[in-house]
A = this chain, B = another copy of it.
Amino acid sequence: MSLVKTFPAGLFSKAMNERDLIRRLQKHSKFIGDDCAILPNGKEDLLVTTDQFIEKVHFLRETHSAPDIGWNALARGLSDIAAMGGTPRYAFVSLALPEWAGQKFLNGFYKGFLQLAKKHNTELGGGDLSHADQFFCDVMVLGAAPRGKAFRRDGAKPGDYIYVSGPLGKTKKRFEPRIETGLSLRGKVSACMDISDGISLDLARLCEASGVGADLTQIPVAKGATVEEALHRGEDYELLFTSSRKLDYFCVGQIVQPRRVHLNGRPLEAKGYDHFARKNT
């Protein structure tokens, strides 16, 4: 979730135009455009996100253990809830299993999944199970935020400071969704999203949604990562947010009016991890 987030640059570049498809779908849905759909529900808003986790696209059997796969499959959805400043409540998991994924694998998968769910008070609500030629997983997370208070991408204003919740560029075996950070930012941010495809690409999306640009001055680089990786590598899952206030997070620059993104005075190309091609664009 959402489709905007999940159509990386270059996706369907030959077969179709992803922006056209999104615009067409947006005619049918007013919910597409943020990390979660925001559904009015009495005094609060329900937040809904779905994220796929697929063999050879999002992970490799060779490098990820079954518990790591279960953990990360859920972590992606929880990260979307965090990006909205929400509280997660329920998770649903649909699995299609190939022959290699037997009982031992499934035990491990659920172990990692439930370990992370427990950590964030998220209940397993159910799911679906089938088989396929490759391992396929789709996780839906249902969360909530006070009515009208969920963070969105379209609220950044010129002059706002731009922040990230941690250093960038390093892919971890298991990543930590920034639920607590999101909750602590309630009432303080003008726009927010999680960095799933690299800050250069995701910041461009945030700027486009807000109708603004950005001047970046510094990027916190994770230990062992290069500046290039910090800018363009996917799957950081840190939060990217803007605020008119000085906050105690890494300030990477400021929102400006011209609709372009610069890094130290030079144009920054919006390129990031392409989940479709499984490579950096």
Determine whether the beta carbon of B31 is less than 8 Å from that of A126: yes
How does the 8 Å CB contact mask read for A1-14 relative to B, with 1 for contact and 0 for none? Answer: 11100110001100
Chain A interface residue bracket vs B:
35 or more
Whether the pair A16, B103 counts as a contact (CB closer than 8 A) is: yes
20 more contacts with CB within 8 A, not counting A28-B114, A39-B142, A50-B126, are A1-B92, A1-B127, A1-B128, A3-B126, A11-B129, A21-B106, A25-B124, A29-B123, A31-B126, A32-B126, A36-B126, A39-B90, A50-B127, A52-B128, A52-B138, A57-B96, A94-B138, A130-B275, A130-B276, A132-B134
Contact at A7–B102, with CB atoms within 8 Å? no
Q: Across the interface, do A136 and B127 meet the contact criterion of CB distance under 8 Å? A: no
Copies in the complex: 2
In residues 68-123 of chain A, which contact B (Cβ within 8 Å)? 89-90, 92, 94, 96, 102-103, 106, 110, 114, 123
Across-interface contacts of A103 in B (CB, < 8 A): 12, 15-16, 21
| Given known A57-B132, A130-B52, A134-B132, contact A124–B28 (CB-CB < 8 A) | yes
10 contacts between A and B (CB under 8 A): A1-B92, A1-B126, A3-B126, A3-B127, A11-B129, A21-B106, A28-B110, A37-B92, A52-B138, A54-B96
In chain A, positions 12-59 with a C-beta closer than 8 Å to chain B are 12, 15-16, 21, 24-25, 28-29, 31-32, 36-37, 39, 41-42, 48-52, 54, 56-58
The answer for the CA separation of A132 and B96 in the assembled complex, in Å, is 12
A50-B126, A138-B94 as given contacts; A102 in contact with B39, CB under 8 Å: no
Q: Is the CB of B7 within 8 A of A125?
A: no
Chain A residues 226 to 281 lying within 8 A of chain B, measured CB to CB, are 275-276
Q: Does A62 contact B (CB under 8 A)?
A: no
- Knowing A16-B102, A28-B124, A110-B25 are in contact, say whether A6-B129 is a contact too (CB < 8 A): yes
Contact in complex: A276, B131 (CB < 8 Å): yes
- A37 and B132 in contact, given A16-B103, A52-B96 (Cβ under 8 angstroms): no
List, in ascending order, chain B residues with CB within 8 A of A1's CB: 92, 126-128
* Chain B residues with CB under 8 A of A15: 102-103
**B110 close to A54 (CB less than 8 A):** no
Q: How far is the CA of A50 from the CA of B95 in the complex (A)?
A: 10
A192 within 8 A of B: no
Known: A15-B103, A134-B134. A94 touches B28 (CB 8 A): no
**Distance of A114 Cα from B42 Cα, bound (Å):** 27
Name the residue among A57, A131, A276 with the largest chain B CB count within 10 angstroms: A131
